[in-house]
Amino acid sequence: GALPAVLCLCAAAWSCCAAGVAPERDQPCRPPPGWAPAGRVSPEHDVQLTLALRQQGTARLARLVRAVSDPRSPRYGRFLSLEQLRDLVQPSPATLMTVLKWLRGHGVESCSSVATLDFLQCHIMAERLLPGAEFHRYLKDQRSVVRSPLPYTIPKDLAEHVDFVGGLHRFPAERNVVSRAWAKEQAEPGQPHGQRAAFHLGVTPSVIRKRYNMTGGDVGLLPNNSQACAQFLEQYFHQADLAEFMQLFGSSFAHHSKVDQVVGHQGWGKAGLEASLDVEYIMSTGANISTWVFSNAGRHESQEPFLAWLLLLSNMSSLPWVHSVSYGDDEDSLSSAYLQRVNVEFMKAAARGLTVLFASGDDGAGCRRVPGGNHTFRPSFPASSPYVTTVGGTSFKNPFLVTTEVTDYISGGGFSNVFPMPDYQAAAVRSFLRSAAKLPPSSYYNSSGRAYPDLAALSDNYWVVTNRIPLPWVSGTSASTPVVAGMLALVNDRRLQRGQAPLGFVNPALYQLRERGHGEALYDVTQGCHLSCLDGAVQGQGFCAGPAWDPVTGWGTPNFPRLLRALLEA
């Protein structure tokens, strides 16, 4: 018999579209704003679906990640190879046999697996395979996707073997960098400590290097070290933009002017602002380090670009050590099964020694109206995963001087409603909750959830070259994330020079900095609040920054030489 896939395969409360609109159980999903229905596709239409097969050994994997990521552990830095990881998590023979038998029984032959054997990608006529599914085409800005607005069923005996089927419901998540004019900023006179602050007309690599105490010598030296950023949704960078950016802004430090490797499809359309920003700032902060770009455009109408990137991580034995990703979705728009499984994918990355950074988002604490008319804050995922390093955003207190930083009001932050607070951050977060001068009403957030961000960097008024034009005033945590990623790639460069392991999942080490006497490794940001719900209770204000860790800027922003010293000792 068939069992409704509410069990594990549809999105939360049938809200199978990334808009977070939860329809009634038997109602179709509504697509996110901007996606227009363009008619039903033929039931014979070939779609590409990703089956996430149930993994083994996930509890052991969690214990292993704790051991290899904690500087106090004797197993610190002893990471797994892809083959060792496969042996730990690969699905049971029963799972593989049951799923393959089901697929073959429906005439499905064209499937490919990944090295860890826990994903299958298949080209199938899905309406035959998944009763209930009904595929429609949706259009937005010359993009086309094929999705099913209706929930689907899978055979009962298969439910325990499959975590979810990707490519059915979720629409591509959008994250746009914003452009804000300085005129809106209120310049405050802030006296910089001990030095004359440099005047500047927007954030450039030299402003970042000055603020975070990086010298011309802080560049990569090793050929076997690399860093990467991931791009989605037809977002492309152009090599010519990168070369022009380095010509304009890179004269004071050794650098590469070319991306060494593009994994995936690099289109020839217009350059995307987000893609240009990522590449230019990871390569000017992590200067002279070999850089890869994972380009996952979602060329196939039924492909989920973010899932395609995760599959690449599970399939490549040699990868860059640091990954910067500016991507996010509302946590409540995703099914529990999907969230838990993607979280395991980040554990797999941590077990291999990869440092994965995500932007915390540009909506402050976020806002969601829940049935009954009340509001709650709205956490973002993957920012809320306990196995990634999440980067928030700051602004200069005086927008024209390289001086003290304050909160950037857009900086994403808050508490997960899905993932419990990990041990590594419990003391820091409880201290914040105890000592914060003012907290929002407790009904707005889950104070026992994973709290983010972990740290921050400047996210306001960047210069970017895109389509050969230098653009000012580009803002968002999409800017701060590649900056922090580049710095951690430089730390890896020094660690590898000294014969040490790369940093891997860095959060346990970050949260131990103060107790290990390295509190000065991060500049504490203690001023400013981020935005949230416009209602009578919170009036647009989320959390506020304060001493030590807070859910707006995390532990603060990097003081590079001190951070380098601290992480070399880890």
Residues with catalytic roles: 274, 278, 478
Pairing of strands 136-140, 449-452: unpaired
Cβ(418)–Cβ(336) below 8 Å: yes
Task: For helices 305-313 and 336-351, give the axis angle rounded to 10 degrees.
Answer: 30
Amino acid at residue number 538 = V
Report helix, strand or coil for 534: coil
* CB neighbour list of residue 37: distance below 8 Å, 6 or more residues apart: 31, 136, 137, 138
Among 278, 179, 194, which residue's Cα sits nearest to residue 480? 278
Q: What do you get for the CA distance between the two ends of the chain, in Å?
A: 55
Structure tokens at 15: 């809200």
Helix ranges (DSSP H) in 365-464: 423-435
Among 324, 300, 314, which residue's Cα sits nearest to residue 230? 324
Structure tokens at 348: 């797999």
Structure tokens at 493: 């460069």
* CB neighbour list of residue 228: distance below 8 Å, 6 or more residues apart: 291, 292, 293, 294, 319, 320, 322, 323, 324
Among 490, 556, 487, which residue's Cα sits nearest to residue 518? 556
Cβ(358)–Cβ(309) below 8 Å: no
**Facing residues of 366 across strands?**
none
Structure tokens at 414: 């808050």
